[in-house]
């Protein structure tokens, strides 16, 4: 929390305060901050407050003039570039409104009690700082006149809530500071219309919840500070609309479990501060979108362990703070995603041992800070992974030794080692020589390093670590005695000695010819580099070792082999280690040749004895058998038994011989049968192949014959169709002529009948009574309206003329219209049309039609060979005549498949359908058969 200034009046105190403000503004401007207006205020204030230095101010490039200003405030105006004026008020109280100059563009009000309505008069104001003034409430229209405001600082006041539209008029606002107030919540539309807003500072408030994507309207937002609030959780994608965000500070809140997509869309974020929250675990993919992040602070959270993928996605991370975390170990691959890390802070953790691979992957690390931790050991090879280290801070730990590879860091220029209980023995002797080559670090080492836990309050350098180490007499290992190459008997015990001297006493490591490694420490309280290794293990890590105590290291470091075996023969390696240097010697162990000679002689003797014993045993058995058989063979029963045994033995031999022969015969028979079967299968396969080949040739010839037969049948059907059409045409001509003649005859009969009826009617009318007929003649008769009996309307002469003309036309033959018609029909058979076509009679329409042309073998024609008849309406019907049942079948234009099926099923030897031809003329449309 910022310190508030006490109220004061005029005088030197005010001038010193203005001077301090000017200095702060200059520092901010040099640092690149957005406080240019504040700098002009401070400069103007400092110049106005130093009235005694008028000569120096006149030489300045800015022409400053004193203007009318409220009592107790400093006002200046800058005439150059028409930048307007500035107002500085500190520790004042105005019970009533006060008047401001019209050209004021920057106002600095600190600890000033004034009514907020005075801001409505600052119409040219661009920068306003009104802090530490106890402002509790702002009206909705308080900034309605200050539409040109670019910077607004309302920090360290008592604002508890804000109207949702209080900042809406400020379209030019770029900087907004609400730090140190009492805001508990923010309206959803608070930052609406603030398109140019770049910085929002809301630290040290009482915010416990934020509206979802509360800063979505501020698309150009670069910095957002929400530290020091009471935020418990934030939903996914809370800052996704603010893709221009560069710095986000959430430290000092109560965040527990941030969602994995909290920072989605922040691909340009460079600074993220999550320190001093209550985060106990980092979800997977939390930082996946933060590809540009360079600064990450996770200090002060209760995170006890990290996963290997905790920092996945932070490829550009440069600065990482893990201070004050309760972590006791580091995963092996945790630094792989952040290989470009430059600064790592691990102060205040629970790390006790920094192992050899704990910093693997940090080849670019420059600063390592581990302070105020229970760290008591750093691996001998740990710092080999960080060759770029420039600064190491290991203050206030429990370190007793420093790894010697610190001396191999070429870029190291700062090393802080104070507050550790250093062991001032030969293990740190290398440190003396190294500090002699680092003159710029020697002073720091002499003043801050102590041996053990001694606390020296004096400023003298007595009992410092460097002085103590310089008095030590440390020496490298020196070989005193080693077992010479000797020959040993097999299965005997062997003692191999390797003795070194040195300060401190070196530890030994034996390596056997079979790859067995055995460690020995001269002083268990003085651990060496192999302290973490097992005492007995294999040179190959994947080879298990069974320690049967046959080979062991004695208390003085000698190697003892209880029973010498052949695999123990060879060269043994003995290496002595101490902090000053290492030394290695080899001991060769040979097996005595007499052992091999004795083994050979012993083997010969054993073989001879075994042979003799076997021979004697055989002889004894034969002797006993002979004696036993001789004694028993005198009785007939024994002879019978022997004879039976001989017969059984002979029968067994015969059966075995017969079985062997039978087996041999069976084997030969099976082999011959197999060969015969293979030959038969081969011959059958070859015969089938020849048969298939012949079938293929026959099928090819048969297909050729079928194709030729098909073409011949199609040709015959086309010819037959042509003859059928000619026959139908001639029949049509004959029928039409016949109908015309019949029509003319009927017309003549009708005319004669009409005349006769008229004459008869006239005679009847003459014989009727005069009165009635007079009425009929005068037109009053009831049937006088009939056309037939109306003599006045009956044009007999015209009708006679019409009938005569029609009769003449029929008698004269074809008309000109018939001659010009496409379907010209002669009165009789045309001379160009044959009377018979292949024996077909065409003068009469027979009941069963003309005979079919002779055909070859039965062949199924395709559906396209159907002859279609044309009726008077132009529709088409496929006609098929069943010659057995004499029943026609009519099929539509889409039913050729059914027709083809009927054709195949009913008439295998006759054709029921005729193929159409493009060269044949169609029947006239008015024809109907």
| Residue (of 475, 469, 468) closest to 506 by Cα position | 475
How far, in Å, CA of 264 to CA of 287, rounded?
A: 8
468-472, 780-784, 901-905: which has the minimum mean pLDDT?
A: 901-905
Classify residue 6 by its DSSP letter.
P
- Express each pLDDT in 823-878 by its tens digit: 444 444 444 444 433 443 434 434 444 444 444 444 433 433 333 333 333 333 33
pLDDT grade, residue 453 (50/70/90)? low
Residue 256 buriedness (CB in 10 A; 0-12 / 13-18 / 19+): middle
C-alpha distance across the termini of the chain, in Å: 117
64-73, 121-130, 256-265, 289-298: which has the minimum mean pLDDT?
A: 64-73
Architecture per CATH, 475-591 = Sandwich (2.60)
pLDDT > 90? residue 251: yes
| Residue (of 540, 534, 537) closest to 521 by Cα position | 534
31-45, 520-534, 586-600, 769-783: which has the minimum mean pLDDT?
A: 31-45
**Both structure tokens of 192:** 């609406």
The better pLDDT of the pair 645, 927 is held by 645
**Both structure tokens of 858:** 């039965």
The better pLDDT of the pair 22, 539 is held by 539
- Tell me the HSE value of 730 on the side-chain side, using a 13 A CA sphere: 21
How high is the mean pLDDT of the chain?
75
Note the pLDDT of residue 160.
93
- List Cβ<8 Å contacts ≥24 apart for 849-857: 849/881, 850/723, 850/724, 850/727, 852/720, 852/910, 852/911, 853/716, 853/719, 853/720, 853/723, 855/713, 855/716, 855/909, 855/910, 855/911, 856/709, 856/712, 856/713, 857/709
Distances (CA, A) of 754 to 142, 333, 747: 120, 127, 10
What residues have CB less than 8 Å from 766, skipping those under 6 apart?
Answer: 773
Is 507 within 8 Å of 530 (Cβ atoms)?
yes
| Residue (of 502, 518, 499) closest to 510 by Cα position | 518
The mean per-residue pLDDT over the stretch 381-386 comes to 89
- Degrees to nearest 5, angle at CA 376 with 370 and 378: 70
The better pLDDT of the pair 558, 842 is held by 558
Note the pLDDT of residue 926.
36
Note the pLDDT of residue 248.
96
How far, in Å, CA of 180 to CA of 460, rounded?
A: 47
The residue written with tokens 């360079």 in the block is 294
Per DSSP, the residues of 380-411 read TTGGGG-TT--EEE--SS------GGGGG-TT
pLDDT grade, residue 632 (50/70/90)? low
| Residue (of 44, 36, 37, 53) closest to 18 by Cα position | 44
**Both structure tokens of 405:** 């590879």
- 412-421, 523-532, 781-790: which is most confident: 412-421
What residues have CB less than 8 Å from 630, skipping those under 6 apart?
Answer: none
Domain boundaries, the chain: 84-230, 475-591, 637-733
pLDDT grade, residue 912 (50/70/90)? very low
Q: How large a percentage of the chain has pLDDT more than 70?
A: 69
**Both structure tokens of 327:** 């972590």
The mean per-residue pLDDT over the stretch 706-729 comes to 91
pLDDT > 60? residue 884: no
What residues have CB less than 8 Å from 382, skipping those under 6 apart?
Answer: 354, 355, 356, 358, 359, 403, 405
Residue 762 buriedness (CB in 10 A; 0-12 / 13-18 / 19+): exposed
The mean per-residue pLDDT over the stretch 390-410 comes to 89
H or E, element range at 570: strand 570-577
pLDDT grade, residue 748 (50/70/90)? confident
Characterise 228 by phi-psi region: left (phi > 0), alpha (psi -120 to 50), beta (else). left
| Residue (of 213, 212, 249, 207) closest to 232 by Cα position | 207
Helix/strand/coil (H/E/C) assignment for every residue in 743-792: HHHHHHHHHHHHHHHHHHHHHHHHHCCHHHHHHHHHCCCCCCCCCCCCCC
Is 170 within 8 Å of 192 (Cβ atoms)?
no
- Express each pLDDT in 153-200 by its tens digit: 999 999 999 999 999 999 999 999 999 999 999 999 999 989 999 999
Q: 199-201 and 223-225 as β-strands: parallel, antiparallel, unpaired?
A: parallel
Cis peptide preceding 504, ω within 30 of 0 = yes
How far, in Å, CA of 561 to CA of 495, rounded?
A: 6
Note the pLDDT of residue 801.
63
pLDDT > 80? residue 568: yes
- Degrees to nearest 5, angle at CA 313 with 261 and 379: 125
84-230 topology per CATH: 3.80.10
Distances (CA, A) of 579 to 502, 518, 522, 717, 740: 10, 19, 13, 117, 142
Note the pLDDT of residue 149.
92
CB atoms within 10 A of CB 723: 19
pLDDT > 90? residue 428: no
The mean per-residue pLDDT over the stretch 704-724 comes to 91
Is 516 within 8 Å of 543 (Cβ atoms)?
no
Is 419 within 8 Å of 399 (Cβ atoms)?
no
pLDDT > 50? residue 451: yes
The better pLDDT of the pair 526, 478 is held by 478
**Both structure tokens of 49:** 């407050």
Domains 84-230 and 475-591 agree in fold: no
- Express each pLDDT in 95-111 by its tens digit: 666 666 667 888 888 99
pLDDT > 70? residue 446: no
Q: 840-841 and 868-870 as β-strands: parallel, antiparallel, unpaired?
A: unpaired
**Both structure tokens of 315:** 């490829």
333-347, 446-460, 623-637: which has the minimum mean pLDDT?
A: 446-460
Note the pLDDT of residue 900.
41
CB atoms within 10 A of CB 685: 10
| Residue (of 692, 479, 494) closest to 578 by Cα position | 479
What residues have CB less than 8 Å from 7, skipping those under 6 apart?
Answer: 91, 92, 93, 111
- Express each pLDDT in 602-614 by its tens digit: 889 999 999 999 9
The mean per-residue pLDDT over the stretch 472-500 comes to 88
- Express each pLDDT in 639-688 by its tens digit: 788 788 888 988 988 999 999 999 999 999 999 999 999 999 989 889 99
- Express each pLDDT in 784-815 by its tens digit: 444 444 444 445 555 566 556 655 655 555 44
Note the pLDDT of residue 896.
39
**What is the reported pTM?**
0.56
H or E, element range at 670: helix 636-767
């Amino acid at each position: 929390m910022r310190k508030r200034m006490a109220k004061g009046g005029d005088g030197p105190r005010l001038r010193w305060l203005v001077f301090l403000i000017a200095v702060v503004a200059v520092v901010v401007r040099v640092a690149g901050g957005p406080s240019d207006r504040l700098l002009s205020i401070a400069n103007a204030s400092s110049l106005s407050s130093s009235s005694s230095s008028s000569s120096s101010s006149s030489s300045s490039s800015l022409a400053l003039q004193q203007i009318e200003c409220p009592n107790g405030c400093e006002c200046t105006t800058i005439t150059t570039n028409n930048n307007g004026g500035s107002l500085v008020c500190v520790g004042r109280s105005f019970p009533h409104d006060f008047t401001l100059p019209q050209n004021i563009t920057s106002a600095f009000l600190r600890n000033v009690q004034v009514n907020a309505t005075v801001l409505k008069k600052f119409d040219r104001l661009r920068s306003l700082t009104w802090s530490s003034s106890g402002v509790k409430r702002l009206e909705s229209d308080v900034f309605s006149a200050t539409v040109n405001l670019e910077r607004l600082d309302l920090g360290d006041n008592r604002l508890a809530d804000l109207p949702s539209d209080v900042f809406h008029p400020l379209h030019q606002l770029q900087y907004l500071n609400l730090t140190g107030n009492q805001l508990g919540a923010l309206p959803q539309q608070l930052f609406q219309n603030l398109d140019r807003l770049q910085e929002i500072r809301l630290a040290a408030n009482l915010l416990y919840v934020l509206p979802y994507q509360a800063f979505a309207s501020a698309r150009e937002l670069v910095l957002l500070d929400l530290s020091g609030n009471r935020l418990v959780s934030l939903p996914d994608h809370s800052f996704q609309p603010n893709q221009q965000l560069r710095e986000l500070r959430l430290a000092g809140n109560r965040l527990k479990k941030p969602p994995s997509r909290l920072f989605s869309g922040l691909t340009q974020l460079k600074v993220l501060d999550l320190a001093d929250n209550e985060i106990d675990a980092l979800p997977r993919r939390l930082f996946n979108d933060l590809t540009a992040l360079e600064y990450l602070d996770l200090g002060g959270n209760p995170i006890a362990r990290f996963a290997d993928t905790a920092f996945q996605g932070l490829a550009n991370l440069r600065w990482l703070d893990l201070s004050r975390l309760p972590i006791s170990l580091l995963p092996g691959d945790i630094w792989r995603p952040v290989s470009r890390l430059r600064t790592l802070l691990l102060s205040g953790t629970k790390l006790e041992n920094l192992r050899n691979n704990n910093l693997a992957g940090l080849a670019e690390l420059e600063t390592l800070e581990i302070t105020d931790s229970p760290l008591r050991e750093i691996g001998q090879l740990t710092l080999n992974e960080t060759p770029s280290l420039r600064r190491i801070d290991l203050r206030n730990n429990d370190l007793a030794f420093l790894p010697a590879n610190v001396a191999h860091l070429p870029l190291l220029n700062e090393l802080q080692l104070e507050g550790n209980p250093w062991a001032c023995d030969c293990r740190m002797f290398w440190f003396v020589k190294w500090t002699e080559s680092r003159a710029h670090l020697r002073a720091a080492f002499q003043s801050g390093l102590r041996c053990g836990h001694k606390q020296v309050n004096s400023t003298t350098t007595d009992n410092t670590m460097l002085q103590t180490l310089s008095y030590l007499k440390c020496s490298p290992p020196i070989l005193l005695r080693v077992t010479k190459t000797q020959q040993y008997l097999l299965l005997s015990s062997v003692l191999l000695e390797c003795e070194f001297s040195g300060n401190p006493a070196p530890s030994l490591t034996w390596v056997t010819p079979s790859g067995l490694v055995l460690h020995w420490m001269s002083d268990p309280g003085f651990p060496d580099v192999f302290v973490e290794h097992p005492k007995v293990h294999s040179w190959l890590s994947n080879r298990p070792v069974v320690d049967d105590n046959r080979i062991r290291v004695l208390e003085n470091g000698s190697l003892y082999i209880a029973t010498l075996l052949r695999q123990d023969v060879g060269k043994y390696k003995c290496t002595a280690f101490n902090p000053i240097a290492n030394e290695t010697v080899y001991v060769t162990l040979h097996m005595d040749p007499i052992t091999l000679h004795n083994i050979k002689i012993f083997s010969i003797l054993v073989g001879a004895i075994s042979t003799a014993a076997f021979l004697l045993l055989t002889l004894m058995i034969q002797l006993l058998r002979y004696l036993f058989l001789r004694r028993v063979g005198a009785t007939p029963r024994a002879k019978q038994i022997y004879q039976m045994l001989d017969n059984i033995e002979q029968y067994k031999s015969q059966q075995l011989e017969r079985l062997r022969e039978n087996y041999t015969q069976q084997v030969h028979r099976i082999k011959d049968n197999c060969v015969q079967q293979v030959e038969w299968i081969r011959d059958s396969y070859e015969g089938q192949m020849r048969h298939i080949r012949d079938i293929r040739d026959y099928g090819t010839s048969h297909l050729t014959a079928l194709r030729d037969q098909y073409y011949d049948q199609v040709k015959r059907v086309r010819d037959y169709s042509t003859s059928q059409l000619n026959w139908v045409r001639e029949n049509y001509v004959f029928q039409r002529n016949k109908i015309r003649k019949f029509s003319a005859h009927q017309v003549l009969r009708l005319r004669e009948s009409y005349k006769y009826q008229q004459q008869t009617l006239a005679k009847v009318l003459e014989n009727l009574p005069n009165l009635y007929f007079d009425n009929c003649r005068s037109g009053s008769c009831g049937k006088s309206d009939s056309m037939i009996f109306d003599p006045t309307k009956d044009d007999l002469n015209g009708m006679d003329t019409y009938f005569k003309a029609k009769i003449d036309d029929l008698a004269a033959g074809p008309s000109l219209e018939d001659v010009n018609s496409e379907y010209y029909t002669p009165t009789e058979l045309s001379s160009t049309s044959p009377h018979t076509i292949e024996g077909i009679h065409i003068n009469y329409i027979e009941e069963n039609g003309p005979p079919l042309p002779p055909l070859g073998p039965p062949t199924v024609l395709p559906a396209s060979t159907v002859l279609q008849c044309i009726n008077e309406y132009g529709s088409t019907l496929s006609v098929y005549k069943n010659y057995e049942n004499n029943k026609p079948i009519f099929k539509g234009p889409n039913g050729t498949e059914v027709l083809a099926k009927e054709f195949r099923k009913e008439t295998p030897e006759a054709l029921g359908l005729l193929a159409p031809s493009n060269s044949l003329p169609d029947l006239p449309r008015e024809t109907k058969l």
